[in-house]
Structure 1
Amino acid sequence: MTPASPPDVFAPTQLGPVRLRNRTVKAATFEGRAPHGQVTDALIDYHLAPARGGVGLTTVAYLAVAPEGRTHREQIVVGPDARDGLARMAAAIHETGAAIAGQVGHAGPVANGRSNGVKAISASRMPSPLSMQMIRSATEADLTRVTKAYVATARTLVDAGFDVLELHMAHSYLISSFLAPSLNRRKDGYGGSLEHRARLGRQVARAVRDEVGDAVAVTAKISLSDGFKGGVTTDAGLEYAQLLESDGTLDALQLSGGSSLMNPMYLFRGDAPLSEFAATMPLVVRLGMKTPVGKGFLKTYPFEEAYFRDKALRFREALSMPLMLLGGINRVETMEQAMADGFDFVAMGRALLREPNLVNDLAAGRAVEGVCIHCNRCMPTIYSGTRCPVIAETAALPN
């Protein structure tokens, strides 16, 4: 239902049990600042920038629940040895008045088993374009172990002072791989019908909620569309969202799209930085990216403001639970339209990387839109510390 009087996107609001100073969310984008799998000052500073810049909630990306659940080895596996660093980061963010979320996930087939030193798992056996290894099909024992790992991770983050847990159920990560028919060819209770393919995501959400209760908000990132044949379609994504809503385990859904494994540009839109990405890869991958198949991996989709809005409106019409709109949100009028459409929060990524102070500037009327040009050259920097190359180039220009 769309509200009769849309809320002010910059006014305080509630996300489950958590009070937020406004309805803006710094979306999870891999930071590349945990070289030894630990919280660093650089990682804290990365999140302090948008927190000081006015966002209501900043999201720490890719907190893995298990060693094989990392996309590569330079990521945090949440456990007792990571708790103190996570607590230090949460305290620093809270000092700014912002809240902090942890994106809790298992990369599944998006994990680089060669980098991690642990073979990746997925819904079904498949070759990995990242490690050039075979990814094995997860056993039921694996799924029980992973579910318990989600619970342990959730408890650690709550103890560390995090306000929100975002369960990653999109982008062909483990839970998402179970939802995609072409990636899930199982014959057991986790394969076949959508209800069976949704089983892992639902059991993880239930287990996490049972563990944390109302101590924190629990949300999930789900797919509006994976953007590849045999992936999660909009119809299937909506049906999955309805199942999650009926379970009553989540406080909100963040609506995303694309596949980190099959079609990453479906999420980002705009220019495809093929040469910049190739330069960061090992030789065999660089050569592969020059082939027609490799070039097709980074497809080009024209950028438009709020490019997921049309699909997201279908979810808004069918669901009553709070929803976060994501996808190319740069203008205050787009944020206001999202509120008028009935969305409860807006999530921003590249715009805040380019201008960490953007929310403050929009709220104060000093700006009406961000200056991000959607060149996507920030994407390949994830291996050396995610940043906007345009900032450095602009700073180098003569006055």
Structure 2
Amino acid sequence: MTSSAFTPVRIGPLTLRNRFIKSATNEGMAKHGVPSKLLVEHHRSMAAGGAAMTTVAYCAVEADGRTFEDQVTLDDASIPHLRVLTDAVHREGGAACAQITHGGAFTFLPQLRNTKYPLSASGGFNAAGVISGRLFKTAMTPADLDRIAGEFVAGARRARAAGFDAVEIHMGHGYLLSQFISPKYNRRRDEYGGAAAQRARYPAQVLRRVLDAVGKELAVSCKICVTEGFKGGATADDAVEVAKVLEREGAHLLVLSGGMNVESPWAIFGSNMPAAAVETIQNPVVKFATRLMRIWEPKIAFHEMYFLEHSRKVRAAVKLPLAYLGGAKSLAGVQQAMDEGFDCVVMGRALIHDPDLVNKFRDGRASVSGCTACNECVVSMYTPGGTRCVLRPENDVRLNQTPAAA
């Protein structure tokens, strides 16, 4: 019997050939900020392997919105390189999505261009900046709110010009829009602070402006946390309220993730980072930060569908399309998500391990991914060859040093 995961689905103006989406997982394939030929090949292989849509991770909407220097900024210079990528994905029959985001207080850039301290929902001490030496952050003013929302719009328009079929507005994992949603970061006393629905007000305004700009041509999704995964963080009940706000604003799809980069990175992956993997990180700041995280992280073992309990609450509360993310690695797990009313399944590590996995599921050549959830792929993004599965051959470093449009 053919799984319903292989049937088409409509997301806003976009029809996907099946329900499988490659998640945005930082690739480490834009050295000096320039999309590389290896980034093109990475996403082309996901489309060739059967995924309906592949998501290019962390496309910053302005230079100060990057977390690291080696990340894509959605500026005019990036468009020719990204057009090579989207053309390659389209030739394989897939759709391409650009994840548009801003890091806010979570940044390791050596210098900011527009502000002395990084922007966030609230000002004061910046816990995310302890390692990088940025001990303070700046609360966004009304002018800042308007300007950054405008940058999201400009980024979405450039994504359209580069041939993308969709944009994913990142509202999770501790980046800027997540800093508004999170009760840990948002201490505002104006209309953008308070209860969960009020904390979602600014992200919803960004969504509205992006929809007004590109929503008739591109699918517009939002990535949110169904749990932030630490005491005092946002819960599944908060996620329900956030989802309701975004549904009313007209989001075409919500991608349900979880965990925070600083407070609970283990929650993002549903398992711990191995010590051996940490030592492979070449960036000294990131290596030190990751070592510190390992000191306080709880010991957790991976299990499939680890966000399902939280995501069910959101599914029960809203009617718009939802994409389940969190440890799906078997055809049975994918079908469970379908049976419980989720419209798509988003996969990361399983497709990094084997980009052809969706085709193998479809053809009966596999029913379970060979991914071991070792998480060594997570830190491989900091290596010269970028993100890869350590159970597979190494990436071609030369391709990662060559601009996509060269």
- Of the three residues 67, 75, 78, the one matched with 2:74 is 78
Residue aligning to 2:19: 23
Distance in 1 of aligned mates of 2:287 and 2:346? 32
1:141 to 134, 139, 143: 143
Q: Which residue of 2 aligns with 1:252?
A: 253
**Is the 8 Å Cα contact of residues 268 and 327 (structure 1) preserved in structure 2?**
yes
Deviation per CA, 1:140-179: give whole Å up to 9, x if none.
2221111000000111111221111101000011111111
| Aligned counterparts, 1:379-390, within 5 A | 379-384=378-383, 385-390=386-391
**1:34 and 1:76 in contact (8 A); partners too:** yes
Q: Say if 1:368 and 1:115 are closer, same or farther in 2 by CA, change over 3 A.
A: farther
SS of equivalent residue, structure 1 residue 333: helix
Equivalence map 1:96-107=2 (5 Å)? 96-107=92-103
Q: Is the 8 A contact 1:183 1:230 kept in 2?
A: no
2:32 corresponds in structure 1 to 36
Residues 1:288 and 1:250: Cα distance change in structure 2 (over 3 Å): closer
Say which SS state the counterpart of residue 79 (structure 2) adopts.
helix
After superposition, give the CA deviation of every residue in 1:39-69 in whole Å (9 maximum; x if it has no partner).
2111101111111111000000000011111
Match in the other structure for 2:365? 366
| Residue range with higher mean Cα deviation, 194-203 or 184-193 | 184-193
Cα 1:124–1:362 shift into 2, 3 Å: same
| 3-state DSSP of counterpart to 2:392 | helix
Retained in 1: the 8 A contact 2:122–2:187? yes
Q: Is the 8 A contact 1:115 1:131 kept in 2?
A: no
TM-score normalised by L of structure 2: 0.90
Task: Tell me if the contact between 1:272 and 1:298 (Cα under 8 Å) persists in the aligned partners.
Answer: no
2:269 alignment partner in structure 1: 268
The one-letter amino acid of 2:109's match is G
Deviations along 1:316-354, one digit per CA (max 9) or x if unpaired, are 111111100111111111111111111100000000000
Deviations along 1:256-299, whole A, 9 cap, x unmatched? 00001211110102242234325526557656655xx5424544
**C-alpha spacing 1:288/1:149, structure 2 compared with 1 (3 Å):** closer
Q: AA paired with 1:256? A: S
> 1:1-399 maps to which residues of 2 (within 5 A)?
8-114=4-110, 119-125=117-123, 126-127=125-126, 128-133=129-134, 134-247=136-249, 249-280=250-281, 286=287, 294-384=293-383, 385-392=386-393
Mapped partners of 1:281, 1:121: distance in 2: 27
Aligned residues: 386
Kindly provide the amino acid, as one letter, of the partner of residue 250 in structure 1: A
Amino acid at match of 2:308: R
From the superposition, tell whether residues 269 and 115 of structure 1 become closer, same or farther in structure 2 (CA, over 3 Å).
Answer: farther
In the superposition, relative to structure 1, how do residues 22 and 380 fare at CA in structure 2: closer, same or farther (>3 Å)? same
What is the distance in 2 between the residues matched to 1:115 and 1:261?
20
Would the alpha carbon gap of residues 287 and 41 (structure 1) be closer, same or farther in structure 2, given more than 3 Å must change? closer
Q: Decide whether the 8 Å contact of 1:39 with 1:86 is kept in 2.
A: yes
TM-score (norm 1): 0.92
Moved more, 43-52 or 5-14: 5-14
CA distance in 2, matches of 1:388, 1:52: 18
Q: Partners of 1:297 and 1:368 in 2: how far apart?
A: 36
Q: Do 2:131 and 2:289's aligned partners in 1 also have CA atoms closer than 8 Å?
A: no
Equivalent AA in structure 1 for residue 320 of structure 2: M
**Does the CA contact (< 8 Å) of 1:6 and 1:342 recur in 2?**
no
Write the letter of the residue equivalent to 2:37.
Answer: D
Give the Å deviation of 1:117.
6.6
Q: Hey, what's the Cα distance between the residues in 1 that align with 2:285 and 2:55? A: 33
Counterpart of 2:346 in 1: which secondary structure?
strand
Superposition deviation, residue 13 in structure 1: 2.3
RMSD of Structure 2 on Structure 1 (CA): 2.0
